C-alpha cells in the first residue's frame, strides 16, 4: 500500500540534495542506492544515467523521471504547510523532477513490500534534461527493452496526460558591427546592439498560434559604456507541433535577418538554426493512452489529454521507438521560486503508478 508519510519523507529528502543540471551525480547515486535496496538490478550507463530493472510477468514498461533541476536550486529548504510543500521562497522547490522520482520509488516500494504480482519494470533516471535532454539523447538504448512507457514529469494532476510535444529548433545568431570610441569618433562605428535591436523589433515573437512559438531569450554584447559595441549574440528558439508551420516560421526568421543585413553594409550577421528534438503526437486511440486511461478509470479519474508546448525526455524516447506519454505529478509553477507540490496529488500519482505496474 502507498504510504503517505514515507512518500512525503522521500520527497523531502530528495529535494534537499542539490542537483542543478550537470551536477546531479549525488541524486543519481541516491536513487541507485534506493533501487538496489529494493532488489532492483541497477547500473549506470556511460553517460551517468541510472537504469534499474525488476523482473515480472507480461509486457514490460519503462518508467522515467529526470534527475536534474533548474536554478536557483541549491540548499533548498522544503516547508510543509497543510497539504502543500513549498520552498522558503529563495529557491525553486525541485518538485520538477523530484516528485516524479518519488512517485516511482514509492510505487516500487509498495509492490515489493506487499509482494504483489507485477509486470517487468524498467526504470530510467536521466541526467541533464533541463539543460539539453542530454541524458535521454545519450542513453544506452541497447539496455532498454520496453516499447511503451510513462514519463513522470508533467504539471498538475496525474490524470493530465500530455500526448504531444513540438519540434524544437535552437536559434543562435551573431551580429558583428565595427567598434569605435563612442565619444570621440562614433561615426566610425557600427553598433551591433542597434542592429540586434532592430532585428528583434522586426521579428514576430511569443505565441504565433496555438501550437507555434518563437522566442529570443538571451541577448549579450558590448564591452564598455563608452565604446560602440562591435559584437552581440542572440539566443532563441522556434517551436511548433505542426511541421509546415515550423518551416514557415524558420523561413520568416531567416528572411528578417537577411533583409536587415542588407541595410547595414560593413556589418556581418550570422544565424544558425538547428533542430534539437523532434515533436510527437499520439492519438486518443493509441495503445499506451488506452492502457493508461483504463488504469485511471479504475481510480475514478477521467483522463484529460493535453498538448504540450514544452519538450522533455519523451521527445527523445519517441525517436528511439519507445512510445511514452507524460503525466502530472502534483507539481505547480515549476521553474519558479513559487513552485509547490500538492501532497494529495503526489499520493494519487504514486497510486496510479502502482496500479500501472500491477495491470
Q: Which residues are designated catalytic?
A: 68, 129
Alpha-carbon dihedral angle through residues 56, 58, 59, 61, given to the nearest 10 degrees? -30
Question: Which grid cell sits at 85?
Answer: 510543500
Q: How far apart are CA 145 and CA 142, in angstroms?
A: 8
Instruction: Map residue 233 onto helix, strand or coil.
Output: strand
DSSP label of 340: E
Residues 6+ apart with CB under 8 A from 88: 77, 79
Instruction: Map residue 253 onto helix, strand or coil.
Output: helix
SS (H, E, C) 7-75: HHHHHHHHHCCCCECCCCHHHHHHHHHHHHHCCCEEEECCCCCEEEEECCCCCCEEEEEECCECCCCCC
Q: How far apart are CA 15 and CA 96, in angstroms?
A: 9
Question: Which grid cell sits at 278?
Answer: 523532434
Question: How do beta strands 323-328 and 148-154 pair?
Answer: parallel
Nearest to 150 by CA among 27, 303, 328: 328
**For the stretch 33-72, what's the b/e string if a residue is b when 16 or more beta carbons lie within 10 angstroms of its beta carbon?**
ebbeeeebebebbeebbbbbbbebeeebbbbbbbbbbbee
Cβ-based burial of 346 (10 A; exposed 0-12, middle 13-18, buried ≥19): buried
Amino acid at each position: 500500500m502507498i504510504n503517505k508519510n514515507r512518500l512525503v519523507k522521500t520527497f523531502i529528502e530528495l529535494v534537499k540534495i542539490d542537483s542543478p543540471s550537470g551536477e546531479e551525480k549525488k541524486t543519481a547515486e541516491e536513487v541507485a542506492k534506493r533501487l538496489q535496496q529494493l532488489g532492483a538490478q541497477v547500473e549506470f550507463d556511460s553517460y551517468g544515467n541510472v537504469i534499474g530493472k525488476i523482473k515480472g510477468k507480461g509486457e514490460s514498461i519503462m518508467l522515467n523521471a529526470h534527475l536534474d533541476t533548474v536554478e536557483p536550486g541549491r540548499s533548498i529548504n522544503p516547508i510543509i504547510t497543510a497539504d502543500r510543500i513549498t520552498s522558503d521562497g529563495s529557491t525553486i522547490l525541485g518538485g520538477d523532477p523530484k516528485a516524479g522520482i518519488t512517485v516511482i520509488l514509492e510505487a516500487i516500494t509498495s509492490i515489493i513490500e506487499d509482494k504483489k504480482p507485477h509486470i517487468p519494470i524498467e526504470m530510467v533516471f536521466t541526467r541533464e534534461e533541463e539543460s539539453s535532454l542530454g541524458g535521454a539523447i545519450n542513453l544506452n538504448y541497447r539496455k532498454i527493452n520496453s516499447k511503451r512507457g510513462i514519463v513522470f514529469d508533467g504539471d498538475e494532476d496525474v490524470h493530465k496526460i500530455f500526448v504531444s510535444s513540438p519540434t524544437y529548433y535552437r536559434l543562435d545568431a551573431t551580429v558583428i558591427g565595427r567598434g569605435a570610441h563612442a565619444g570621440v569618433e562614433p561615426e566610425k562605428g557600427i553598433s551591433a546592439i542597434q542592429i540586434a535591436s532592430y532585428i528583434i523589433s522586426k521579428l514576430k515573437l511569443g505565441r504565433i498560434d496555438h501550437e507555434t512559438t518563437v522566442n529570443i531569450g538571451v541577448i549579450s554584447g558590448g564591452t564598455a559604456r563608452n565604446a560602440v559595441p562591435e559584437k552581440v549574440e542572440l539566443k532563441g528558439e522556434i517551436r511548433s507541433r505542426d511541421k509546415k508551420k515550423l518551416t514557415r516560421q524558420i523561413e520568416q526568421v531567416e528572411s528578417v535577418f537577411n533583409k536587415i543585413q542588407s541595410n547595414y553594409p560593413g556589418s556581418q550577421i550570422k544565424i544558425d538554426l538547428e533542430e534539437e528534438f523532434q515533436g510527437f503526437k499520439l492519438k486518443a486511440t493509441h495503445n499506451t493512452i488506452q492502457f493508461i486511461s483504463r488504469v485511471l478509470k479504475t481510480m475514478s479519474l477521467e483522463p484529460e489529454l493535453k498538448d504540450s508546448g514544452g519538450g522533455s525526455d519523451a521527445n527523445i524516447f519517441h525517436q528511439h521507438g519507445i512510445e511514452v506519454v507524460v503525466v502530472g505529478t502534483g507539481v505547480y509553477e515549476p521553474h519558479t521560486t513559487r513552485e509547490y507540490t500538492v501532497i494529495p496529488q503526489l499520493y494519487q500519482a504514486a497510486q496510479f503508478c502502482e496500479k500501472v505496474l500491477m495491470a
